[in-house]
Amino acid sequence: MVATNGVNGAEPTVREMPTEERPRERLAHYGPRQLNNTELIAILLRTGSAGENVISQSNRLLSRFNGLRGLGKASFAELCAEKGLSEAKTCQILAALELGRRFVSLAPEERAVINCPEDVANLLSAEMAGFEQEHLRVLLLNTRNEVMNVEEIYIGNVNSSVVRPAEVFRPGIRANATSLIAVHNHPSGDPTPSGADVSITRDLADAGKLLGMELLDHLVIGGGQRYVSMKEARLGFS
């Protein structure tokens, strides 16, 4: 999403980006649920710093603190110590995260609804694309395809010799989920599925049939908001 065609090779500012790629314009046109975490934080920060536009800054923060969960646990001092974050910007981030927590506590019935692979990517790609190791997570869904929870299953080498279907489905069984979606990242940035990814998907899909808990999809997250839906690509699903 971020090009490097600004002045003297620097990253372009948001104003220099095409209108359809600017976070505020995208929010106004598509609504906030269609924006990923990087774009939402960029709107809060408004501007970047010297040599780094606001989208790169937002992505760096999410990667530095391992996503929204880690960002929400960061202290005022920790955030202020980050490059380009003033006290005012730090206050804006912490205030927005606290409002989100309070909203969830007031309206626990408000859950993300998954209607397509893009919904999954919007929910997780900004965070997972920045990981230096592979992470395998599962989204637990109810009968209305609402996200009940997101569970971390593995961190490290996610391959068919390591991934055990029992461990992947265990959180769903405990939560009485109807179905689940597996998601893992490729630190290389290339979301092209490997042979191991296909094998894992096939094993999970078969296990889901036996357990009565359907594997709806398996997404591979790459860099630059790229992803591959194994279901759409017809890889591992019969």
Each residue's pLDDT tens digit, 177-199: 999 999 999 999 999 999 999 99
Same domain, residue pair 165 and 62: no
Its pTM stands at 0.59
Which of 106, 129, 162 delimits the end of a domain?
Answer: 106
At which residue do the structure tokens 């461990």 appear? 167
DSSP single-letter state for residue 139: E
Same domain, residue pair 17 and 80: yes
Average pLDDT of 37-66? 88
Residue 4's pLDDT is what?
44
Of 37-46, 100-109, 159-168, the least confident:
100-109
Give me the phi and psi of 196, to 5 degrees please. -65, -35
Which of 87, 106, 125 delimits the end of a domain?
Answer: 106
Residue 139's pLDDT is what?
95
Q: Which domain holds residue 174?
A: 117-229
Is it the case that residue 156 has pLDDT exceeding 90?
Answer: no
**Under 8 Å between Cβ of 1 and 224:** yes
- pLDDT-derived band of residue 34, with 50, 70 and 90 as boundaries? confident
Domain-located, residue 13: yes
Which of 73, 106, 139 delimits the end of a domain?
Answer: 106
Calpha distance 228→185 (Å, rounded): 10
Residue 2's pLDDT is what?
40
User: Which one is predicted more confidently, 199 or 224?
Assistant: 199
Domain-located, residue 238: no
Is it the case that residue 6 has pLDDT exceeding 80?
Answer: no
Calpha distance 46→53 (Å, rounded): 10
Same domain, residue pair 15 and 42: yes
Domain-located, residue 92: yes
Same domain, residue pair 99 and 122: no
Domain-located, residue 236: no
The CATH code of the domain that includes 172 is: 3.40.140.10
Same domain, residue pair 127 and 93: no
Residue 104's pLDDT is what?
57
**What is the number of structural domains in the chain?**
2
Domain-located, residue 30: yes
